[in-house]
Amino acid sequence: MIDLQNVTKAYGDLVVLDRFCHIFTSSSFTAIQGPSGSGKTTLLQVIAGLLPIEDGRIIIDDRVTNTRDQALHPALRQLGFVFQFPALWPHLTVRQNILYGLMRQPRTLQEERLEEISASLAIADLLPKRPSELSGGQARRVSLARTLITRPRYLLLDEPLNNLDARLKDQVLAIVADYWHKHQATVIWVTHDPGEVSGLSPAVRTFSPSGLV
């Protein structure tokens, strides 16, 4: 469970989250839809610990992760974050990018999961390449693979279908849905198009700076 209690986040004089309260229940799938600038990405980033908050607190699995004065390191939150832009490390190959989060795991486990995720996302042929050699859609699939391979308990996705054609959109959505069911993950999916997940998500909520309405 992710519990946001009176969370305030501002950029200077611009208040984006204003005493925001919401509970993302365990194993739920929530889609957040809203126009650019409404705070969707900011919400994901404060949950992930990538941005500080001005007030309130965030609790993940009964552990306080964010307050005005302190924050738990993002790596300790059991979160996976698929960014709006792929943000791949340019000096690493696709293979190295995907396996980065499993570096301390046994080699056999790394190879097993890499083979599985590469097949499901149709990126096996991209493994030797560098990010600069990828198309936008390929880079987005690699970014998703890098996140899912670690099997996070919480999955935060920021516009995950950008730069994908209709076939790949359906494929990626199916992969995320399968991951959600198989691992009982808590999924928060940010989009400008609620139709993306209208047939999947139990409830599509509209996000605004004053909260989910």
Spatial separation of the C-alpha atoms in residues 11 and 111, rounded to whole Å: 43
% pLDDT > 90, the chain: 58
The count of other CB atoms within 10 Å of the CB of residue 120 is 19
Domain locations along the chain:
2-212
Q: Which of 89, 100, 96, 77 is CA-nearest to residue 132? A: 89
Mean pLDDT lowest among 8-22, 97-111, 124-138, 196-210: 196-210
CA distances from 140 to 99, 169, 183 (A): 16, 11, 22
pTM of the entire structure?
A: 0.87
- Whether residue 16 is predicted with pLDDT greater than 60 in this model: the reply is yes
Look at the domain 2-212 and name its fold. Rossmann fold (3.40.50)
pLDDT, mean of residues 56-70: 94
**In this predicted structure, what is the pLDDT of residue 205?**
61
Q: Are 85 and 141 in contact (CB under 8 A)?
A: no
